[in-house]
Structure 1
Amino acid sequence: MRDFRFGFNFFDVPPREDFVARCRTAERLGYDVALVPDHLGGPAPFPTMVAAAEATERLRVGTLVLNVPFWNPHLLAREVATADRLTGGRVELGLGAGHMKWEFEAAGLPWEPFGARTDRLAETIEELGRLFGGPGYEQHAARDAEYGLAELRPVQRRGFDGSGPPLLIGGTGDRVLRLAARHADIIAYAGVYQLKGEPPGTFRIGTAAEAGERVEFVRGLMGERADEAEASILIQAVVVTDDRRAAAERLSAERLPFLTPEEILETPFLLIGTYEQMAGQLVERRERFGFSYITVHGPYMETFGSVIERLR
């Protein structure tokens, strides 16, 4: 069974000294990875990753996850390779198909059906692997040889068939998870589901039954590779309480009407209870689902540190 790894994400970029302090606090609390989403109004992923690595001694850095339709593969390959070199090989590249329609509209980008966005994800993975594998752009060959310039390729040779950084693919649907089963070093089981009949980006939290079905679906596709890939989840809320049932009832009534209190207590995408109870929940869910790479939203970073302390 895999050891736990813990990550947190950034919703914002505070002033530099506060950003550095946040990263160092996370490292002290036992976090392994600092992650950056890819949403308009939030931090730019790659500068934030490089700054987080520079502020710390061992934190790995990654994207959770890049909105692939925002990116041209050649420009993305340049960003990834540069960040991996500047961080000394600490990058984890998370990719997804995108799901917030308003962001595409605001950026003046076409909003394509999910199948087309998934096809774009597949094509990007293939193109990144080709670009990471070299030999680079022939137009630069003479210049690089004359001056002895380093080729712009990732330091790491773990993901992309041994040519780039570890690849994380996140999602819930069959098509994205099929890609993950085929290519990913880390499979991120998304904890939110689009509500049918509602505008894109209107979500509910998934149940334990849905998580289990998705895990079995992927493991069935992976065959002998099933134990090689790391299973990751993003915890949507960390609720510290001595009365789990009462907290679940409040959440069901006020914030999560599509889940019963029983489903709220069982879903792996929420943590509710004392620190000891939450640590126990993570151990049980690792045994049940295989989830060993646990990420929390940034506002819960310090609170969740007390759970990490009980699991180290």
Structure 2
Amino acid sequence: MRVSVFTEPHRGASYDDQLRFARLVEAAGFEGFLRADHYQSMGADPGLPGPTDAWLTLAALARETTRIRLGTLVTSATFRLPGPLAVMVAQVDQMSGGRIELGIGAGWFEREHRSYGIPFPAVGERFDRLAEQLEVITGLWRTPVGGSYTFTGDHYRLVDAPALPKPVQVPGPPIIVGGRGPKRTPDLAARYADEFNMPFKSVDETAEAYERVREACDRVGRAESGRAPLVLSAGIVVAIGRTDAEAERRAAPLHVASALPPESPVIGSPAELVERIGEFAAIGATRVHLRLIDLADLDHLELIGSEVLPQLDGDQ
């Protein structure tokens, strides 16, 4: 089982906080450090000291780490134009020596768009834009050096783009598409993604999502096209401790009202987290993203590294 750590700096974390955390993620033996791409906290707390830009942060971390994979869960298609985003991700992939992953979604949190003056169209248009962004980004990365890329869609138009720079990873950094959507999300994952992620839901709900995406892969002929099978991953909200009291203290932020949909956290002992990861493995997951709430709680990260990772099979 591949194990990465997922963080939410919009809850309140400076770049230095994230750097300290990412370095410990690397030292503790995790596979990767992925972060949310949000400009505002979902609750009433403003998340001091305020937001940090995901790709600016990852570019800096790319130069401050040597092994861990780095990426977003997930970049919102409403935040950036697809051409500049392809350039940005390719450059950070170069800066990291080929360790970047692009998680990308349609966007959902209206309040942060309104706060920062970002257009927030209806959900149907957001998914249309996401589909075009995936087409453009993968098209730019796959265009041979010396060639050019042209695209005409309903929302984006590129004419003779030089399709540079190229990422280190060929044909491009792994793309992660995920979510709870029953129709368009599985289809987009089957067509464009390298990994499908079901975030923070129960094992049963995740199994249903995996079945939907497997059916979508069959519909679009993914196997016949020669594409590699989708990596199936699960997000797990984690609050564990050496004692029940320690676990409950770490879980306290989960009980505060927010705009997030209902989740299925693991609150308890390291053994309970190992058991949950095993349940996800049994339904086909080969990767988990552990969402840790407090980036200042380095002991939580060290506990998982010392008590959970050694009990899991496979490279981290």
Q: Could you say which TM-score interval applies, normalised by the shorter chain?
A: 0.7 to 0.9
| Matching residue within 169, 174, 196 for 1:156 | 169
Q: How many Å separate the matches in 2 of 1:279 and 1:215?
A: 21
Alpha-carbon distance change, 35 to 298 in structure 1, aligned in 2, over 3 angstroms: farther
Give the deviation of 1:32 after TM superposition: 1.1
2:121 maps to amino acid:
E
> Deviations 1:140-189 (Å, cap 9, x if unpaired)?
98xxxxxxxx95111111xxxxx311110121102112111221101111
**Which of 263, 277, 299 is the aligned partner of 1:282?**
277
Classify the secondary structure of the residue corresponding to 1:290.
Answer: coil
C-alpha displacement at 1:241, in angstroms?
A: 6.8
- TM-score, L = length of structure 2: 0.74
Kindly indicate whether residue 14 of structure 2 is the aligned counterpart of residue 14 of structure 1: yes
The one-letter amino acid of 1:14's match is: S
Residues 87 and 136 of structure 1, relative CA distance in 2, 3 Å threshold: farther
Question: Larger Rg: 1 or 2?
Answer: 1
158, 180, 184: which is aligned to 1:175? 184
Quick one: which of 97, 101, 107 aligns to 2:106? 97
Query: Are the structure 2 counterparts of residues 31 and 298 from structure 1 closer, same or farther at C-alpha, using a change threshold of 3 Å?
Result: farther
Higher normalized helix content (fraction of residues): 1
Instruction: Mark the runs of 5 or more structure 2 residues left unpaired by the alignment.
Output: 41-50, 150-158, 295-299
> 1:187 is matched with which residue?
196
Q: Residue type of the partner of 1:222?
A: C
1:82 is aligned, of 77, 88, 91, to: 91
Tell me the equivalent position of 1:203. none
TM-score relative to the length of structure 1: 0.75
Match of 1:311 in 2: 312
Counterpart in 2 of 1:160?
A: none
Please state how far the C-alpha of 1:139 moved relative to its aligned partner: 8.2
Separation (CA, whole Å) in 2 of partners of 1:167 and 1:207? 23
CA distance in 2, matches of 1:15, 1:217: 38
Cα distance in 1 for residues equivalent to 2:160 and 2:229: 38
| Structure-2 separation of matches of 1:75 and 1:116 | 20
Point out the more displaced range, 58-67 or 230-239. Answer: 230-239
Q: How many residues align?
A: 268
- Write the distance in 1 (CA, Å) between the matches of 2:177 and 2:71: 12
Match of 1:132 in 2: 141
Alpha-carbon spacing, 1:170–1:289, altered in 2? closer, same or farther (3 Å): same
Relative to structure 1, is the Cα distance of residues 241 and 301 closer, same or farther in structure 2, using a 3 angstrom cutoff?
closer
Distance 1:14 1:112, change over 3 A: closer
Offset of 1:96 from its aligned partner?
0.5
Question: Residue 43 of structure 2 aligns with which residue?
Answer: none
**SS of match in other structure, 2:78:** helix
Give the match for residue 5 of structure 1: 3
Equivalent residue letter for 2:179? G
Q: Which has the higher contact order (CA 8 A, sep 6+)?
A: 2
Q: How does 1:1-312 map to 2 (within 5 A)?
A: 3-11=1-9, 12-14=12-14, 16=16, 19-41=18-40, 42-134=51-143, 135-136=147-148, 151-157=164-170, 163-173=171-181, 174-191=183-200, 206-223=201-218, 225=223, 228-240=229-241, 269-299=264-294, 301-305=301-305, 306-311=307-312
Structure 1 residue 25 displacement after superposition: 1.1
Is the contact between residue 7 and residue 291 of structure 2 (CA under 8 Å) also seen in structure 1? Answer: yes
Question: SS of 1:228's equivalent?
Answer: coil
